């Protein structure tokens, strides 16, 4: 083989080697970028879930606290509709953020956490309805100490505990926070 042919063959091999190396590098970079995008997506989803679950738990506690405040006011002998007005308004106002938080949980999932959030929403709705019925009866009767309504309210309080705990367990499981 003469020097000219050897130079052409050497140049061709060098070109093919450079091209092959470039293809391998490009493919490797593309794979790394896809992997990084997937990791970033998973981190964003975990953060969204953590935020949504925390808001849902916090909002459920705020609904409970607002209803407890109204119940305490209804139980005080001699309190009137005027003393019940503000705690009743607070209890009703607490519902919207809670409902919104449960909807956010349903969006970020997963399904088993969304289901647990819906069960909590139903239990909190029963609490809301029991408290509302008590407050309305007190306003109509002019007296807050109504034993039957208090008992129904306390049943709703007890009934929300299990769904609240179940939601927290589901959230921990979804976040892989179980120890």
In this prediction, residue 33 carries a pLDDT of: 76
The torsion region of residue 76 among left (phi > 0), alpha (psi -120 to 50) and beta comes to beta
User: Is residue 116 within 8 Å of 166, Cβ to Cβ?
Assistant: yes
In this prediction, residue 53 carries a pLDDT of: 98
In this prediction, residue 36 carries a pLDDT of: 79
Nearest to 153 by CA among 129, 136, 119, 120: 129
- Report whether pLDDT(30) > 80: no
- The CATH number of 47-174, from 2.120.10.30, 3.40.50.2000, 1.10.1740.10, 1.20.1420.10, is 1.20.1420.10
Domain extents for the chain? 47-174
| Residue 145 banded pLDDT, cuts 50, 70, 90 | very high
Instruction: Please tell me the distance from the alpha carbon of residue 84 to that of residue 73, in angstroms, as a whole number.
Output: 6
In this prediction, residue 85 carries a pLDDT of: 94
Q: What percent of the chain has pLDDT over 90?
A: 74
pTM over 0.75: yes
Q: What percent of the chain has pLDDT over 70?
A: 84
């Amino acid at each position: 083989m003469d020097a000219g042919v050897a130079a052409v063959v050497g140049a061709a091999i060098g070109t093919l080697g450079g091209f092959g190396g470039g293809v391998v590098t490009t493919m490797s970079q593309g794979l790394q970028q896809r992997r990084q995008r997937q990791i970033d997506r998973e981190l964003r989803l975990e953060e969204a879930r953590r935020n949504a679950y925390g808001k849902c738990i916090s909002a459920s506690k705020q609904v409970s606290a607002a209803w407890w405040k109204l119940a305490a006011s209804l139980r005080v002998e001699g309190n009137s509709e005027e003393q019940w007005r503000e705690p009743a308004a607070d209890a009703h106002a607490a519902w919207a953020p809670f409902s919104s938080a449960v909807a956010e949980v349903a969006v970020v999932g997963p399904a088993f956490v969304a289901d647990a959030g819906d069960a909590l929403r139903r239990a909190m709705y029963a609490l809301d309805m029991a408290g509302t019925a008590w407050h309305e009866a007190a306003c109509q009767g002019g007296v807050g100490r109504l034993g039957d309504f208090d008992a129904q309210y306390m049943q709703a309080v007890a009934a929300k505990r299990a769904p609240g705990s179940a939601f927290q367990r589901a959230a921990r499981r979804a976040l892989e926070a179980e120890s």
